[in-house]
Amino acid sequence: MSVDAIGLSTELLKAVKACGYKNLTPIQQQAIPLIRSGCDVLASAQTGTGKTAAFSLPILDLLAKSASQKKSNNRSVRALILSPTRELAMQITKNIQEYAQFMDITCGLVCGGKNMDTQVKLLKGGVDILVATPGRLIEHINARSVDLSHVKHVVLDEADRMLDMGFLTAIQSLIETIKQKHQTLMFSATFSNKVKTLAKQLLHTPKTIEVSMQNSTAGKIKQQVYWVSETRKRELLSELIGVKNWRQVLVFAGTKASADLLAKELKLDGIKCAVCHGDKNQGARNKAIEKFTEGSVRVLVATDVAARGLDIPNLPYVVNFHLPFLAEDYIHRIGRTGRAGKKGNAISLVSPKDEQFLDNIEELIGRKFERIVYPGYEMDLSLPESYADSDTKKLKKSRYKAMQEHNQMLERKQEKNKPANIRREKAKSRKKR
């Protein structure tokens, strides 16, 4: 469906076309008419399908057609958009400002990592649409620096992620501060039971939209799993990037420390890279993303702080150096590639200690992956004769330790699922011994 077919205002349509939009995505085709009709909406669509435009375009259209407010310092917040991370909040704000470039509608951002006084000044000046992270918005409410008494539209974007991050109480508290009647929209990459429960609390007879299978991954993303020893993951990653000449690669590491170490080792291999994680200040993170986007660095090593909100046009490769703890985060990570129907590649480097995480991902998305063994990285391959015996022993010990940790994890899981009385009896038995 063409963007011309939905009857957007002249100014909004002009901006949308200036952004390069020609046709609406499936989520936009379904959500825009429903939101313009004024009903609450619960929408599930995989990341990269155009959710931001799906809720912001109809809201901008409604605000433009409603009684316009006088341009003064008393301009009040009329639409509130909550986001789980500052990166996503910044991206949403940027998109809305582009859509509203020919309209007398302002959009502002309040999130952590930014100067509080600057945000207070922004709020006092007045904005029509406020994009915020829950924690920082509550700070402003407590400081009485924001007025939500005129809010008519509330959007919870990436609702599942906000719940995973522990924002349930904050969300409930924020919604309670909006006393007047308003429209509530919930958008989520996955349609979990927690999201449905929250929807029952906050939404009134909502219209439900599902444009793809629950917990599915984008169809044009080629997903591969390389089976490799934990100790040789970095070596394999360097070889894949070099031999296959990958030019732009987003790599997800499990922790901040492992991200720093991986980036250091890749640089020693002659691969230009940058790092993005929670210990970096906002300026450093923005600079790393900017360098990666413009192509001055080949690899961006990130933790899950970049799994949402990072919008890099035509990103060709996402690599899971470590699989995520939560299977749902796999969907969000690989959703950085293959956006808006384009092709993409998602590669996961998996060792025996990752097997349980991979099983959880396969169960979630309903698909079994072939374990690819890259030539020269077979785990039972004999080491070259030049390797000292001590090195061979160390490698065998490392493999044995990985398998041991994996088995212990499974035993703990099984133990946890046993009835409490059986666990008590086993504990007594161990004490007697």
Tokens of 141: 């409410």
**What pLDDT does residue 50 have?**
82
pLDDT along the chain (433 residues), means of 10: 84 89 87 94 79 93 72 73 90 94 94 89 93 95 92 93 88 90 90 87 92 57 93 94 92 93 93 88 84 91 74 87 88 80 88 91 87 86 41 44 51 54 54 51
Residues 146, 123 contacting (CB under 8 angstroms) = yes
| Closest by CA position to 147, among listed 75, 39, 97, 232 | 75
> Which residues on neighbouring strands pair with residue 335, listed in sequence order?
none
Q: Is the pTM of this model over 0.75?
A: no
**What are the contacts of 272-275 at 24+ separation with CB within 8 A?**
272/296, 272/297, 272/298, 272/299, 273/297, 273/298, 273/299, 273/300, 273/301, 274/299, 274/300, 274/301, 275/300, 275/301, 275/302
**What pLDDT does residue 266 have?**
94
Handedness of CA 4, 339, 263, 112 (dihedral sign): positive
Rounded Cα–Cα distance for residues 347 and 49 (Å)? 21
Half-sphere exposure of 83 (CA within 13 A, CB side): 23
- Cα distances (Å, whole numbers) of residue 238 to 224, 243, 272, 322: 17, 8, 11, 15
**What pLDDT does residue 212 have?**
58
